[in-house]
Each structure stands twice: as structure tokens, then as C-alpha cells.
């Protein structure tokens, strides 16, 4: 939903909920800025009827009342639009509290904090900020964090929510220079400490997954609607796993510099100290492992299989030539 329309619907809902008597179209038109700027009466009437239908579809109960002089008035009675009491057990309350503590961006943190305050005001059993939920429960020591330091995160999050196409410059792991991508973003997902966005690549006319840390410059929104249908299920994680060789078909041996490459160490089947600041690791080998190993640069040396070693060298040469 466009921001302008969402604001207009919110203003209309507030007017209908805040009035003590039915308001006529004329009164609503003079009270809401978007209606004042609507232009002709026909434009206003069409806009108002659409907005009224949208609010009803969203669940707002709008009463229509005929006045003594024959004018039609509208209002949303509070007793008809009151939400049922919210009840949460201890585990549900703890889950909400933990979820609210995840986000580290100021914009999201403010919204999460406001939601918790409203739940506390309604009598929900939520702990104060920074306090344990229950010292005797396993979740009391949890301090969740999902880092999202990339500048592209927030504009992509908003674009996914509003279904807006975007344009950004993207540098693949094997390329020295970024290329422009026109994308219809569907969903953001965090996997192993990195954020990815999945969507429809307009130039390549195919589904693609992009790592946010490889987006250079600003993410720019574009006018218009999505041209491709959004699938019910988007396999972001499965796609990234295939890139990283997670769907293993064998094993590989690599040399890894000591105190480096912790994601590789986490997946290692065996680790052997070679001395001189190097370790030997046996790791699962699958499609896309060569692209992942290239990201570690001079800290990784592929020992075997020979095909993987050749693929990594080819990728490094391509980057060096760029």
C-alpha cells in the first residue's frame, strides 16, 4: 500500500472513531487534507467510497446513519470496534519480549519498544527492559541479536513491504566491478550472520538472491508495480546453501590460516594443526563451494580435489584481471 493512501486511510479511521456523532461527506472532506486536495466532487466521491470499502475490508465497522435533514453520516462506534482482551501465557510473553530485543536499528527498536509498552499497559506479564523474564527458565539468559548494519537493509525492507521495485549496484564475489540490477524484492532473510534479499531480476527475467553486503551505493526505489507474481514460498536459505556448498556431494581438504575463516571451521569435519600459522580442514564439498572459498582470499588454499582447486584459481584470476 502506498504511504499516501495509508496515511489517508488512517486519518479517515481516526475521524470516524473520534467523533461523537455521524459525520457527513462534506464534513469529512473539510477535515482530511487529502480530500481537500481531491479536486472535483466526483474525484472526492470515488476516493471516499474506495477508502470506506478498504477500511471495512480491514475490519473497521463503519455505521451509516441518516439524519433528520436527509444527509447521510458515518461513524465507527468504539464499542463495535473494540479488540477482544489480549491474553498471553508466560512463554508467549517471553517470546514477544525476546523478539522485540532482536532489532538493533533505531527505527525498528523504537517500534518494538512502543509495542512492549502497550502490552505492559494492558497487563501483559512482560519483564522490564534488560531484566530476565524468569531466572528459572532456560530463555532467561538469551540475548538475541540479528545484526543488520548494511545501509541497504532498511530501504529493501520497506520495498519488500510496499511491493516497490528497486535499483542498486551489485558486485558479485567473482567480479571486480559492480553491475546495476533492477529487482522486484520479495523477502529478506538472515543466514549465518549475513542478510540476503530474494526477488525477481528484471534484466535476467529470473528469480535471484542477493547478499546485502555486496550492494554498493544507495538502493533507489522505482515507480510502478511488480511485473512478476510473488511466489507463496521463497527458498532464500536453500539457494544460499547451494552457493556455499551446503548440499554436499563429497568432501574437500583446505589449508586455512589460523584464527581465520570461522564459518569454515564451524562446518569442518576434521581440523589438524599444520604449524606455521596454518590448519588443515576437511569440509563438505558441493555446488558453489568455490565461490564461497574465494571470499576468504589469501587465508584459504585448496588442497583437493583438483577440480575445486582449479575452479577457485580461475575465479581469483578473473577478479585480478578485473
Domain for residue 10, yes or no?
yes
Identify the domain containing residue 282 by its residue range: 244-321
Residues 157 and 219 in one domain: yes
- pLDDT at residue 18 is higher than 80: yes
Considering only residues 122 and 232, tell me which one the structure prediction assigns the higher pLDDT: 232
Considering only residues 94 and 301, tell me which one the structure prediction assigns the higher pLDDT: 301
Pairing of strands 72-75, 270-275: unpaired
Residues 16 and 29 in one domain: yes
Give the chain's mean pLDDT: 81
Domain for residue 148, yes or no?
no
At 232 the three-state DSSP class reads coil
Domain for residue 146, yes or no?
no
Residues 124 and 174 in one domain: no
Domain for residue 170, yes or no?
yes
Angle between helices 3-18 and 41-57 in degrees, nearest 10: 80
Query: 189: part of which helix (H) or strand (E)?
Result: strand 179-191
Residues 279 and 263 in one domain: yes
Q: Domain total for the chain?
A: 4
Q: Once rounded to an integer, what is the mean pLDDT over residues 205-211?
A: 90
Closest C-alpha among 34, 58, 63 to residue 46: 34
Domain for residue 147, yes or no?
no
Q: What is the pLDDT of residue 109?
A: 63
Domain for residue 173, yes or no?
yes
pLDDT above 70 as % of the chain: 77
Q: What is the pLDDT of residue 253?
A: 95
Domain for residue 85, yes or no?
no
Cell digits of residue 141? 539468559
Q: Which residues contact 265 (CB under 8 A, 6 or more apart)?
A: 256, 271, 281
Residue given cell 513491504 in the structure block: 161
State the Cα–Cα distance between residues 5 and 41, nearest whole angstrom: 18
Q: How far apart are the first and last CA of the chain?
A: 42
Q: Once rounded to an integer, what is the mean pLDDT over residues 201-217?
A: 90
Domain for residue 32, yes or no?
yes
Q: Over the stretch 75-88, which tens digit does the pLDDT of each residue have?
A: 998 888 876 777 77
State the Cα–Cα distance between residues 170 and 217, nearest whole angstrom: 9
Q: Over the stretch 263-308, which tens digit does the pLDDT of each residue have?
A: 889 889 999 999 999 999 999 887 678 878 888 889 999 999 998 8
- pLDDT at residue 91 is higher than 90: no
Amino acid at each position: 500500500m502506498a504511504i499516501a493512501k495509508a496515511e489517508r486511510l488512517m486519518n479517515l479511521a481516526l475521524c470516524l472513531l473520534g467523533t461523537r456523532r455521524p459525520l457527513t461527506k462534506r464534513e469529512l472532506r473539510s477535515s482530511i487534507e487529502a480530500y481537500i486536495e481531491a479536486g472535483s466532487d466526483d474525484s472526492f466521491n470515488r476516493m471516499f467510497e474506495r477508502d470506506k470499502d478498504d477500511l471495512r475490508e480491514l475490519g473497521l465497522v463503519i455505521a451509516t446513519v441518516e439524519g433528520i435533514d436527509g444527509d447521510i453520516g458515518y461513524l465507527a462506534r468504539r464499542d463495535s470496534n473494540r479488540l477482544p482482551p489480549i491474553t498471553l501465557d508466560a512463554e508467549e510473553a517471553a517470546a514477544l519480549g525476546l523478539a522485540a530485543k532482536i532489532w538493533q536499528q533505531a527505527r525498528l527498536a523504537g517500534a518494538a519498544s512502543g509495542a512492549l509498552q502497550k502490552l505492559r499497559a494492558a497487563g501483559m506479564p512482560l519483564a522490564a527492559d534488560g531484566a530476565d523474564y524468569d531466572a528459572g527458565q532456560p530463555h532467561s539468559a538469551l540475548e538475541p541479536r540479528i545484526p543488520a548494519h548494511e545501509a541497504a537493509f532498511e530501504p529493501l525492507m520497506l520495498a519488500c513491504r510496499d511491493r516497490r521495485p528497486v535499483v542498486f549496484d551489485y558486485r558479485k564475489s567473482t567480479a571486480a566491478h559492480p553491475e546495476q540490477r533492477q529487482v522486484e524484492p520479495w523477502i529478506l532473510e538472515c543466514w549465518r550472520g549475513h542478510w540476503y534479499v530474494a526477488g525477481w531480476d528484471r534484466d535476467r527475467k529470473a528469480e535471484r538472491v542477493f547478499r546485502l553486503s555486496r550492494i554498493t551505493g544507495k538502493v533507489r526505489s522505482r515507480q510502478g508495480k511488480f511485473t512478476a507474481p510473488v511466489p507463496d514460498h521463497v527458498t532464500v536459505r536453500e539457494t544460499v546453501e547451494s552457493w556455499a556448498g551446503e548440499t554436499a556431494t563429497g568432501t574437500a581438504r583446505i589449508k586455512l590460516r589460523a584464527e581465520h575463516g570461522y564459518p569454515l571451521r564451524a562446518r569442518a569435519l576434521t581440523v589438524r594443526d599444520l604449524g606455521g600459522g596454518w590448519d588443515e580442514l576437511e569440509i563438505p564439498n558441493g555446488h558453489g563451494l568455490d565461490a564461497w572459498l574465494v571470499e576468504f582470499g589469501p587465508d584459504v588454499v585448496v588442497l583437493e580435489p583438483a577440480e575445486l582447486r582449479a575452479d577457485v584459481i580461475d575465479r581469483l584470476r578473473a577478479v585480478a584481471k578485473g
